[in-house]
Amino acid sequence: MTDFLFGILSSLAASIIVLVLGLLRGSRPLWWLIAACSWCTGTGLGRVYRHQSATEQDISRDLSRARWIKVLAGRGNVLTREVFSPLWSGELSPDSIQVLLPDHRTQGDSWLDRRSHDVRRFDSGFTPALLRNQVRTNMAYLTRATRSQRNFELRNFNLPNTCRVIATDRAAYLTFYSSSAHGRNSPCLYARAPGLLYSIALQQFDAAWMNSSPALPASQP
């Protein structure tokens, strides 16, 4: 009898392990479990994306419903892609759009240079000036694309380049950058408002905003 019960329990445990592993292999089937745990703990975590690059369809949906939008980015490539184009074309018109990008004008030992140094360690094609030039190009694009919009404000920050935040009044997408991978390949957390993670995302943005400076027009160095 003991062996029989042990066999049943072993089979049950194995089935549970297989089920959990099956859930972990795909992000979407796991979301309901994450949301349930989040509700119990108050963290507000709704989804986990294995890669930041997989978030754009959901970000586009959330932007279409937003009353305000805050973006803190390490270089800002996402701002020039299709997901944000309805904002720059005027198709969407939230009350305010605030964007923070690293200060490409700071010379010497800047936080932008430190992040660039980290990336060069795992990406041999990343030259010392590439990240700085990408930020400058994206700022020039935004300056031109939003020149007629009064609800848009672009600022620069010179703080640790450690995360990306895209937040609205409903939710936030929070990516913590790794020193061994591009941001697009890092996991991204989706946090609903209200909740602990949502508050952390806004605190990250607000701290950088308070220590930022107005962006220069694109025609200036």
Which residues in 117-153 are b (16+ Cβ under 10 Å) and which e? ebbeeeeeebeeeebbebbbbbbebbbebbeeeeebb
Annotation: CATH topology of 42-214: Endonuclease; Chain A (3.30.870)
Q: What is the DSSP string of 48-110?
A: EESSGGGGHHHHHHHHTT-SEEEEE-SS-GGGGSGGGHHHHHTSS--SEEEEEEE-TT--SS-
Stated pTM of the model: 0.80
Q: What is the largest CA-CA distance in the chain?
A: 83
3-state secondary structure of 39: helix
Q: Round to whole Å and give the CA distance between 187 and 177.
A: 9
- Residue spans of the domains in the chain: they are 42-214
Per-residue pLDDT of the chain (221 residues), as tens digits, is: 444 343 434 444 434 333 343 444 444 545 555 555 555 555 788 888 988 889 999 999 999 999 999 999 999 999 999 999 999 999 999 999 999 999 988 777 788 888 888 888 888 888 878 889 999 999 999 999 999 888 999 999 998 888 999 999 999 999 998 776 777 888 899 999 999 999 999 999 999 999 999 886 544 44
Token output for 129: 């000036």
